[in-house]
Amino acid sequence: MKNIVILISGSGSNMAAIVQASVQRRWAERFGVRVAVVVSNRADAAGLAWAQAEGVAVAVLDHKAYASREDFDAALQAQLDVYDPVLVVLAGFMRILSTGFVQHFAGRLINIHPSLLPAFGGLHTHQRAIDMGCQFAGATVHQVTAELDHGPILAQAVVPVLPGDTADTLGARVLTQEHLLYPRTIEDWLNRAAAAL
């Protein structure tokens, strides 16, 4: 069985959508793949309890316990390498990853970002879209490169920006699409990987 690892820092709603899709869409039977572990840099991340309740292994690696980003990333890399992951999925993992970590997992490291990249990389994406008068917003799944919120785009979902939208109402509408987009994009990736074998 090949392993997917998911990294989270908070509620893990995208992680939950992926785990549920992996069961409902029978990834283990169809692709020989399972979500093997959910790792967080925060012990209080709510998503950890959800994953445990679903029978998924969890681990915590506190970034504050390390002297530098590179030290933390080296420890995280060593922990993930135990699982020899076919895919490392960032699902609300609020850490900027070092170049060495990104290069180590190149081609199998993906992220979801709550904007239509390349627009609005970084934080406060929904408010920035509203402030700029955008008529559409959305989410992007992309391969991770050393440059933050760049890398080849794998898939996007588009939602309208409605009159009277706030960052919260727009963000909630985008998040609904993220929960559909991310599992579907991973399944597409698994399909392509299986076809390439």
Say whether 50 sits in a helix, a strand or coil.
Answer: helix
Q: Could you give the dihedral angle defined by the CA atoms of residues 87, 150, 90 and 92, in that order, rounded to the nearest 10 degrees?
A: -170
Residue among 113, 126, 142, 179 flagged as catalytic: 113
Nearest alpha-carbon partner for 136 in 120, 112, 154: 120
| Amino acid at residue number 19 | V
Nearest alpha-carbon partner for 23 in 54, 58, 52: 54
What tokens does 152 get?
């080849």
113 is catalytic: yes
Specify whether the backbone of 22 is left (phi greater than 0), alpha (psi in -120 to 50) or beta: alpha
| Amino acid at residue number 79 | Q
Strand bridging mode 33-40 / 2-8? parallel
Dist CA 22 CA 75 (whole Å): 27
Supply the DSSP symbol for 25: T
Output the CA torsion sign for 74, 79, 80, 83: positive
Residues assigned a catalytic role: 113
